[in-house]
Amino acid sequence: MTPFTIDDARALLPAFALDALDPPERQAMLDALQRFPELHAELDTFVKTVHTLGTSETVMPAPGLRDRFLQRLATADPDAPPTDAAPAMAASSGDRLQHRSTHRPSARRPLWRRVAPLLVTAALAATVVVLVRSQASLRNELDAARLAYTKGQSTIAERDQALAEKEAVLRTLLGGGDALLVVNMGVPNATGPGMQFFWNVKDGRGVLHAFRLPQTAQGRAYQLWLIRDGQPVPSRVFTPDGDGSTTLFDIELPQSTTGVTAVAVTEEPAGGSKLPTTQPFLVGTVSTRSQ
């Protein structure tokens, strides 16, 4: 049926209030009332007019009728829920559909209309479950992405650190020019521990590259010494990597080799010592020839 215009609907409001519309018209009217709420007030005036029609006459009932009512009242279950099978309680426009559905015997709601709310509820519940699972999955993916990002950042930082170290090493090695002093400790091509010590005298910076060092005991470390004027001068404390090697850079050193005759390495407590507590196991001689 063609949807009602507001004028169509307004013209049929009195008949609607009287329940005098055919079912298709009634449905069209209900649709129109949803689209044109401004009609509700006018419909209400007709509904209340219809209410008065039933009040035009009175007939005194027989006294026995009152007794019958009281008897039914006395036997009624006060807690009984309102019956849905009873005639409609419609009293205004908003109740017209329910009123008519009980008014007409053939107006039972079709199965799909009774099941539809359940299906909608089930669909909503399923949607919620899917959304919750999706949210959990997205959260896991986000966490994984954050972890990967953190790892990536860490890797980048490590690489930046490595690059900075190499840059520092190169700066020390190359920046010294002819003021670079090289000291070899240990026996070249041997299987024992060995070290190369690079001293940029001009900048007062040094690099120590050690290899094949035995791992130190827990709480112990290696310490580098300068032997100047016959006295040990403490320098950096270090421990080797897993393969026994390490590279120390930016070691602070004097900008003059005066009085320095050797470099040495001892094993000391992890915090280092002011004076050697053990015998040096690597010693290299500093001479002008080393430059």
Partner 1 sequence: MTDLRTAREGALLEGMRRGEQEAAAALYDMYSPMLLALALRICGQQPDAEEVVLDTFMQAWRDAHRYDASRATVAGWLTTIARSRALDLVRARVRRQHATDAAQLRQVDEPMITSTPLADSVLEHAEEGAAVRRAMAQLSDKQRCVIEMAFYEGLTHAEIATRLMEPLGTIKTRIRLGMMRLRDTLGPLALGGQS
Q: Can you give the binding site for partner 1, defined by CB under 8 A?
A: 11-12, 14-15, 17-22, 44-62, 65-66, 68-70, 72-74, 76, 78, 80-83, 86-92, 94-95, 99, 102-103, 105
Q: What contacts 285, CB < 8 A, 6 or more positions away? A: 183, 261, 262
**Separation between Cα atoms, residue 10 and residue 4, nearest integer Å:** 9
* CB 41, min distance to partner 1, A: 11
Name the percent of the chain in helix, strand, coil, to the closest 5. 45, 20, 35
In terms of CB distance, is 22 or 160 closer to partner 1?
Answer: 22
* CB 16, min distance to partner 1, A: 10
In terms of CB distance, is 21 or 180 closer to partner 1?
Answer: 21
* CB 138, min distance to partner 1, A: 47
* CB 139, min distance to partner 1, A: 48
Q: What contacts 247, CB < 8 A, 6 or more positions away? A: 165, 169, 207, 208, 209, 210
What is the Cα 71 distance to its own chain's centre?
69
* CB 36, min distance to partner 1, A: 17
**Separation between Cα atoms, residue 251 and residue 225, nearest integer Å:** 11
Residue with tokens 């409001």: 13
**Separation between Cα atoms, residue 267 and residue 270, nearest integer Å:** 9
Backbone angles phi, psi at 179, to 5 degrees: -100, 20
In terms of CB distance, is 70 or 122 closer to partner 1?
Answer: 70
In terms of CB distance, is 60 or 190 closer to partner 1?
Answer: 60
* CB 117, min distance to partner 1, A: 21
In terms of CB distance, is 82 or 242 closer to partner 1?
Answer: 82
In terms of CB distance, is 68 or 146 closer to partner 1?
Answer: 68
What is the Cα 240 distance to its own chain's centre?
41
According to DSSP, the residues that pair with 282 across neighbouring strands are 265
